[in-house]
Amino acid sequence: METNSAMTGGDLAVRDTWGSKLAFILAAAGSAIGLGNIWGFPTVAGQNGGAAFLVVYLLAVAFIGAPVMLAELIIGRRTQRNPVGAFKALAPDSAWVVVGALGVLTGVVILSFYSVIAGWTLAYVWKAVTGTFVAGADTEAIFGHVAGDALPAIGWHLVFMVITVTVVIGGVRKGIERWTKVLMPALFIILLLLVARAVTLPGAGVGLDFYFKPDFSKLDVNVVLAAIGQAFFSLSLGMGAMITYGSYISRKDDLVSSAAWVTGFDTVIAIMAGLIIFPTLFSAGLEPGTGGPGMVFVVLTSLLSTIPPEPIGGVIFGTLFFLLLAIAALTSSMSLLEVASAWLIDERKVPRKKAAITIGALAFILGIPSALANGAVDWLSALPGVGLDFLSFLFTIFGQYALVVGALLISIFIAWVWGVRPAGEEVRANDGRFPLGRLWSFLIRYVAPLAIVAILVQLVAQLFGWSLFG
Ligand code: PHE
């Protein structure tokens, strides 16, 4: 019964595939487009000079992100396995399986704190609908309650995790695909409505200048590092999410254009998120320097009540904005949960339902300290000797370092261990073509690994308080 034949019809043995190329693109774009785009991107861009950051970010996506995206899809479709199984299949009896295992672990940890933040967005949808964000509302106190009191923080984290698990139990085609086909168009429509509102606010132009007129004197090595790190997180790279989603792609479909669509969508949506945030902030005379949860959950919400048409503008656009965040988070958390679930299903022959519940429960428990790290428990809110709260600490280790290391190892593996030649054969499996194949080989062999090594050196140096590049 443990064959992989779709004809046996046995629950355990059948490996799902996407219903179509479009279905894959929507699901993978759903994974990529998340809190990292709508909340993270404008925050990081705001802290790093706006337009200058945008330029560097686009270069990082094109020359490092896109080739790694294709690499992950190739590994996934070739092996039709989760990251652990994929490395086992391509490099049997070697230490490379550790890269897959690191990916599975990273996915669970990211899911744990991602769900906490996603829980806040659910709470905020509710608050926005019920008209909490009226003129003069103390948005700082509201955030302090949602994120800082144990009960709502853990409660909404639980609600979000249960929704995520429910989707993943449905499987690839009847769960993830079915939901993303509805949620992604909804996300796009909401985004367009919000952009239209934001760019027509009085005084929006100053925000647009900040965003689109680069001032390259703001560039330094830290801006470049921030851009590359942001690109990996935003594109869901470096932990095998795209290996896993790629493992459900049919041999009939073409990988290069799929990778291009996903990368392109993710980038366009991040840019559009900036078109909501910057005009809104500048039109209220605020600077986008405020980082972290503050910018969206405190500063932006305090502006909601002023959005015309008053007095219901804030209710409408506030609800839409937090719904947008919640949807984006959900289509990403599905992929985070799917990686470790696929590992249990493929490698341990655990039935899907049990696998998704087990990993979801684990990530929920692991998320509790993160849920308590925004004020509920003092030492978790400022880890002694680290200077970060527990959630930010996990984000730094797993959302940044682990993804960068993972992406480096994946590119070294495909470029120098398994080889660009067999990789190219996998790309050509459908119609014998590999558009931009030589460019990809060059980027994945030299540009991506060297750039990533450079960031790692700088990151480690910063850890020790050294500054290598000035
Ligand atoms: N890409 C998602 C975001 O932008 C986060 C994510 C990272 C999802 C890694 C899966 C894997 O929010």
Q: Do you know the residue count of the chain?
A: 470
Provide the Cα torsion 175, 181, 183, 185; round to 10°. Answer: 170
Instruction: Give the C-alpha separation, 397 to 391, whole Å.
Output: 10
User: Mind listing the pLDDT tens digit for each residue in 223-272?
Assistant: 888 899 999 999 999 999 999 999 999 999 999 999 999 999 999 999 99
293 pLDDT more than 90 = no
Q: Where are the alpha helices (DSSP H) in 213-312?
A: 221-234, 241-246, 255-283, 292-293, 301-304
Distance 397 CA to ligand 1 centre (A): 14
What average pLDDT does this structure show over 197-209?
92
Cα-to-centroid distance, 180 and ligand 1 (Å): 15
CA-34 nearest atom, ligand 1: 12
CA-nearest of 448, 198, 208 to 317 is: 198
pLDDT at 111 over 80: yes
For atom 9 of ligand 1, the residue with the nearest CA is: 236
What's the mean per-residue pLDDT of the chain? 92
Confidence band of 211 (pLDDT split at 50, 70, 90): very high
CA of 411 to the centre of ligand 1 (A): 19
Q: Read off the pLDDT of each residue in 446-467 and give the average, rounded to a whole number.
A: 83
Distance separating alpha carbons of residues 320 and 323, to the nearest angstrom: 5
DSSP label at residue 213: S
Percent of the chain with pLDDT over 70: 95
Task: Give the span between the Cα atoms of 114 and 273, in whole angstroms.
Answer: 19
411 lines ligand 1 (CB under 6 A): no
* 41 CB within 6 A, ligand 1: no
Query: Would you say 93 and 261 are in contact if contact means Cβ atoms under 8 Å apart?
Result: no
CA distances from 81 to 10, 87, 89, 220, 332 (A): 18, 9, 8, 40, 20
Instruction: Please report, in angstroms and rounded to a whole number, the separation of the first and last CA atoms in the chain.
Output: 61
- CA separation for the pair 45, 367 (Å, rounded): 27
Pocket test for ligand 1, best of 38, 73, 234, 235 (most atoms within 8 A of CB): 234
SS3 290: coil
236 lines ligand 1 (CB under 6 A): yes
284 C-alpha vs ligand 1 centroid, how far in Å? 30
Query: What is the C-alpha radius of gyration for the chain, rounded to an integer number of angstroms?
Result: 22
Instruction: State which ligand 1 atom lies nearest to the alpha carbon of 329.
Output: 12
Report pTM.
0.94
Q: Which of 31, 117, 398 has the most ligand 1 atoms within 8 A of CB, as the residue to mutate? A: 31
| Biggest distance spanned by C-alpha atoms of the chain | 65
**Protein residue with least CA distance to atom 7, ligand 1:** 236
Contact between 96 and 413 under an 8 Å Cβ cutoff? The reply is: yes
| CA 71 to chain CA mean position, Å | 18
Torsion-angle region of 133 (φ positive above 0: left; ψ -120 to 50: alpha; else: beta): beta
CA of 331 to the centre of ligand 1 (A): 9
Q: Which residues contact 440 (CB under 8 A, 6 or more apart)?
A: 67, 70, 256, 420, 434
